[in-house]
């Protein structure tokens, strides 16, 4: 089954297209799958797929066919496999083209909650069609995590090479931070995070910090902390022990490199969360805000899964930091306590990265799962 369609609806932010584009690339590059990616909003997608021409309805980028999915789209044929990303609802006109032997997968959102194992690979019927539910996850009983085959190795090379580090920072017009006492930190979060409190804790701590902030919707909050109305990529700001560098919004590949170059990464949502794990550096994850505090349940489930084997004080410090970040109540002592445990967390994260990287990745699991469905082995 070599012809796949992926449908991506951009709800908000970059996670939907970030995951779909990454999956499409990996299926094409590592599994020789012929992918057609249907996207409902090329303008937002262009932020992640810089080569996209928003005037074209159908185009090839990186060997992948990208097509506009809107009210004017007409479908002539369904692919052998169709991936409906995050329950985005396939268009009726496409559904009518599907036959029982087409394989229809709903790729779900990632969660570390224990119920995921029981729901992964279940299905539901719609007439004579079957919709299969594929859940990403952190255990072998789930669909796994998106991971290109060389990403962990590439990140390790960066982490151990001063040359690669200085090449990266030079490319961003930034000096290499040669002072081993200064911590490099990347910051990507939702604007409701307690950004001002965090920057204040960083500035006033005894540890020198270089903080790298790609351009996203948090810039007004960062600007306000420094008493400015407006900041932009290329700006460097300083307050006490904090040096902050505003970066452009990076390509996915450069964002991966930034994470590998930093000592601590603040990440959010779904895709950057997993990239932080492959970077093998301590990270603080901010889950996507949901009603009834569901995101806090997701956070707790992840902290339970990821840090259960971590030594006591470091475990408490990272849990406290995550909870403070997610519930908007950072204090200087939470941050200081986290920094005091950073070496333990560094060693622990490297171990967890290699444990998770020893499991099969999501794209490979998906290909195997679909082959089994095709041969009626499930």
Positions marked catalytic: 16, 270
Binds ligand TRH (CB under 6 A): choice among 97, 159, 233, 250: 250
Residues between 262 and 321 with contacts to ligand TRH, criterion CB under 6 A: 268-272, 288
What sign has the CA pseudo-torsion 51, 35, 58, 109?
negative
Residues between 6 and 25 with contacts to ligand TRH, criterion CB under 6 A: 11-16, 18
Whether 4 contacts 24, CB under 8 Å: no
Q: Tell me the closest approach of the beta carbon of residue 22 to ligand TRH, in angstroms.
A: 7
13 versus 139: smaller Cβ distance to ligand TRH: 13
Q: Tell me the closest approach of the beta carbon of residue 17 to ligand TRH, in angstroms.
A: 8
Whether 65 contacts 36, CB under 8 Å: yes
Burial class (CB in 10 A: 0-12, 13-18, 19+), 58: exposed
Strand partners for 209:
183, 242
Q: How many CB atoms lie within 10 A of CB 86?
A: 18
Q: Tell me the closest approach of the beta carbon of residue 219 to ligand TRH, in angstroms.
A: 11
277 versus 370: smaller Cβ distance to ligand TRH: 277
47 versus 207: smaller Cβ distance to ligand TRH: 47
Q: Tell me the closest approach of the beta carbon of residue 60 to ligand TRH, in angstroms.
A: 21
Q: Tell me the closest approach of the beta carbon of residue 133 to ligand TRH, in angstroms.
A: 17
The stretches of the chain forming alpha helices (DSSP H) are 15-31, 42-48, 92-95, 115-119, 151-160, 162-171, 195-204, 219-225, 252-261, 271-279, 294-307, 312-326, 332-340, 342-357, 362-374
Contact between 249 and ligand TRH by CB under 6 A: the answer reads yes
Structure-token pair, residue 318: 């990272």
Q: Tell me the closest approach of the beta carbon of residue 347 to ligand TRH, in angstroms.
A: 25
Structure-token pair, residue 53: 């021409």
54 versus 351: smaller Cβ distance to ligand TRH: 54
Residues between 88 and 147 with contacts to ligand TRH, criterion CB under 6 A: 109
113 versus 271: smaller Cβ distance to ligand TRH: 271
45 versus 79: smaller Cβ distance to ligand TRH: 45
Whether 1 contacts 81, CB under 8 Å: yes
Task: Kindly state the number of chain residues that form the binding site for ligand TRH, as judged by CB under 6 A.
Answer: 22
Structure-token pair, residue 216: 């996203």
Q: Tell me the closest approach of the beta carbon of residue 252 to ligand TRH, in angstroms.
A: 4
Residues between 182 and 201 with contacts to ligand TRH, criterion CB under 6 A: 188
Binds ligand TRH (CB under 6 A): choice among 91, 137, 144, 214: 214
* Segment interacting with ligand TRH (CB under 6 A) among 147-155, 194-202, 246-254, 350-358: 246-254
Q: Are strands 81-85 and 3-8 parallel, antiparallel or unpaired?
A: parallel
Contact between 221 and ligand TRH by CB under 6 A: the answer reads no
Orientation angle between helical segments 332-340 and 342-357, nearest 10 degrees: 70
Q: Give all strands of the β-sheet with 3-8 in edge-to-edge order.
A: 58-61, 64-68, 34-39, 3-8, 81-85, 103-107, 129-134, 123-126
Whether 106 contacts 87, CB under 8 Å: yes
Reference 212, options 265, 254, 170; nearest CA is 265
Binds ligand TRH (CB under 6 A): choice among 48, 78, 183, 277: 48
* Segment interacting with ligand TRH (CB under 6 A) among 247-255, 314-322, 328-336, 366-374: 247-255
20 versus 203: smaller Cβ distance to ligand TRH: 20
Please tell me the distance from the alpha carbon of residue 304 to that of residue 296, in angstroms, as a whole number: 12
* Segment interacting with ligand TRH (CB under 6 A) among 5-13, 36-44, 346-354, 369-377: 5-13
Contact between 67 and ligand TRH by CB under 6 A: the answer reads no
Structure-token pair, residue 177: 């931070």
Residues of the shown chain interacting with ligand TRH in the complex, contacts defined by CB under 6 A: 11-16, 18, 48, 109, 188, 214, 216, 249-250, 252, 255, 268-272, 288
């Amino acid at each position: 089954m070599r012809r796949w369609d992926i449908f991506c609806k951009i709800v908000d932010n970059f996670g939907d297209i970030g995951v779909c584009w990454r999956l499409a690339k990996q299926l094409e590059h590592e599994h020789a799958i012929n992918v057609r990616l249907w996207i409902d909003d090329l303008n937002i997608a262009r932020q992640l797929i810089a080569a996209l021409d928003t005037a074209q309805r159908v185009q090839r980028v990186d060997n992948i066919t990208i097509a506009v999915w809107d009210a004017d789209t007409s479908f002539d044929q369904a692919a052998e496999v169709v991936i409906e990303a995050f329950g985005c609802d396939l268009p009726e006109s496409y559904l009518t083209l599907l036959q029982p032997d087409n394989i229809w997968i709903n790729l779900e959102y990632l969660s570390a909650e224990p119920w995921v194992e029981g729901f992964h690979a279940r299905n539901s019927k719609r007439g004579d069609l079957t919709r299969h539910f594929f859940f990403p996850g952190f255990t072998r009983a789930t669909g796994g995590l998106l991971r290109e085959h060389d990403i962990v190795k590439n990140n390790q090379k960066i982490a151990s090479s001063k040359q690669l580090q200085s090449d990266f920072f030079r490319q961003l017009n930034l000096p290499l931070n040669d002072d081993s006492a200064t911590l490099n930190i990347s910051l990507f979060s939702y604007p409701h995070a307690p950004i001002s409190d965090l920057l204040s804790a960083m500035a006033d701590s005894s540890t020198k910090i270089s903080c790298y902030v790609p351009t996203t919707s948090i810039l007004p909050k960062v600007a306000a902390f420094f008493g400015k109305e407006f900041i932009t990529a290329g700006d460097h700001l300083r307050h006490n022990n904090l040096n902050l560098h505003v970066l452009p919004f990076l390509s996915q590949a450069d964002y991966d490199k930034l994470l590998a170059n930093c000592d601590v990464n603040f990440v959010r949502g779904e895709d950057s969360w997993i990239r932080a794990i492959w970077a093998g550096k301590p990270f603080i994850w901010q889950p996507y805000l949901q009603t009834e505090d569901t995101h806090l349940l997701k956070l707790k489930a992840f902290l339970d899964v990821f840090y259960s084997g971590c030594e006591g004080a470091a475990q408490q410090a990272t849990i406290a930091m995550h909870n403070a970040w997610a519930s908007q109540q950072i204090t200087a002592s939470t941050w200081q306590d986290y920094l005091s445990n950073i070496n333990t967390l560094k060693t622990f994260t490297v171990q967890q990265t290699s444990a998770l990287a020893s499991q099969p990745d999501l794209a490979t699991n998906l290909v195997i799962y679909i082959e089994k469905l095709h041969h009626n082995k499930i």
